[in-house]
């Protein structure tokens, strides 16, 4: 878990697990080099991207291979939405998993996006927190630093994401009040900033009093020990998302070359099939038509 404390515009490492950022980046680059040559991985599909989608896609890959045992699915290290898009453009990945649409400059680089899943974006807390729900106003107050303690007097440890992360855009779109509160949070001293989806989930799961945004897909697919909070009395779920009662969501995209291999097309077809849809629903996501 890599978490940074932001102090007056500088970053200092709070805690770490697995790899340091430089080692992690080197591992990603090495994996991209190893898995770069198409000829060395004939009949294979290389997939990586946003951490929130990875575990479900691994489960989808297991289902796909039951009827396509000739196709190997390779998972290089998680590299985030932007990293996976760049790797797909460069031909180092066959499918990049993104939690945001393609930007204009990316969409003219020979790749296309296929939205395939939608999941509630939820507010989760460490199990030490006894709250079961918050109002939008209370969430905004936490981000703005106006509410720093839980009801039992324990400290609220807000887990943030980097300014350009897709989670930040979701948070800002909740309401004008939230947009202002998130801007305040991004400039507050002493904040915990998780660099990846996995780091954010680890922090919420392990830091007493922790609170932050995360997808239901990640909590369910990875069986995370995180309490999901109701928002304005509405419990996040696929039904409340579909009927418009729960307002926050993220859409996952598969990014591929405009003319992908036959194996990639077969995998996409499986994801969008009834069998794929059943796997998505079981893991906190609804299929995107």
Residue 127 and residue 236 in one domain: yes
Residue 143 and residue 278 in one domain: no
CATH number, domain of 158, equals 3.40.190.10
pLDDT digits (tens, 9 = 90+) for 203-245: 999 999 999 999 999 999 999 999 999 999 999 999 999 999 9
Question: pTM of the entire structure?
Answer: 0.86
Residue 234's beta-bridge partner residues? 231
- Domain range spanning residue 14? 3-18+120-242
Taking residues 269-276, report their average pLDDT: 98
Residue 289's pLDDT band (boundaries 50, 70, 90)? confident
The count of domains in the chain is: 2
C-alpha span between 198 and 193 (Å, rounded): 12
Residue 126 and residue 225 in one domain: yes
Residue 149 and residue 173 in one domain: yes
Helices (DSSP H) in the chain: which residue ranges?
21-34, 51-67, 80-89, 104-107, 136-144, 166-172, 176-186, 197-206, 216-221, 238-242, 262-271, 274-282
* Helix H or strand E segment including 157: strand 157-160
pLDDT digits (tens, 9 = 90+) for 168-189: 999 999 999 999 999 999 999 9
Residue 76 and residue 30 in one domain: yes
C-alpha span between 193 and 285 (Å, rounded): 26
Taking residues 92-105, report their average pLDDT: 96
């Amino acid at each position: 878990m890599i978490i940074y404390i932001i102090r007056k515009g500088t970053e200092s490492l709070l805690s770490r697990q697995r790899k340091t950022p430089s080692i992690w980046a080197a591992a990603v680059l090495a994996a991209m080099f190893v898995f770069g040559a198409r000829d060395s991985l004939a009949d294979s599909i290389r997939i990586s991207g946003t951490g929130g989608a990875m575990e479900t896609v691994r489960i989808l890959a297991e289902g796909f291979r039951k009827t396509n045992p000739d196709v190997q699915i390779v998972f290089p290290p998680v590299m985030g939405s932007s990293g996976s898009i760049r790797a797909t453009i460069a031909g180092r990945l066959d499918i990049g998993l993104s939690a945001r649409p393609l930007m204009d400059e990316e969409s003219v680089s020979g790749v296309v996006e296929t939205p395939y899943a939608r999941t509630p974006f939820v507010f989760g807390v460490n199990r030490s927190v006894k709250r079961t729900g918050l109002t939008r106003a209370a969430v905004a107050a936490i981000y703005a630093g106006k509410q720093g303690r839980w009801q039992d007097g324990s400290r609220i440890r807000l887990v943030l994401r980097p300014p350009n992360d897709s989670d930040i855009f979701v948070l800002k779109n909740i309401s004008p009040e939230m947009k202002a509160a998130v801007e305040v949070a991004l400039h507050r001293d002493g904040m915990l900033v998780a660099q990846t989806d996995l780091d954010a989930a680890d922090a919420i799961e392990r830091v007493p009093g922790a609170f932050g945004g995360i997808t239901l897909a990640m909590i369910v697919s990875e069986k995370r020990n995180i309490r999901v909070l109701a928002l304005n009395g509405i419990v996040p779920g696929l039904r409340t998302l579909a009927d418009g009662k729960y307002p926050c969501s993220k859409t996952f995209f598969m990014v591929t070359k405009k003319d992908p291999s036959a194996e990639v097309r077969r995998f996409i077809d499986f994801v969008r099939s009834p069998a794929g849809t059943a796997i998505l629903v079981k893991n906190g996501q609804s299929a995107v038509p």
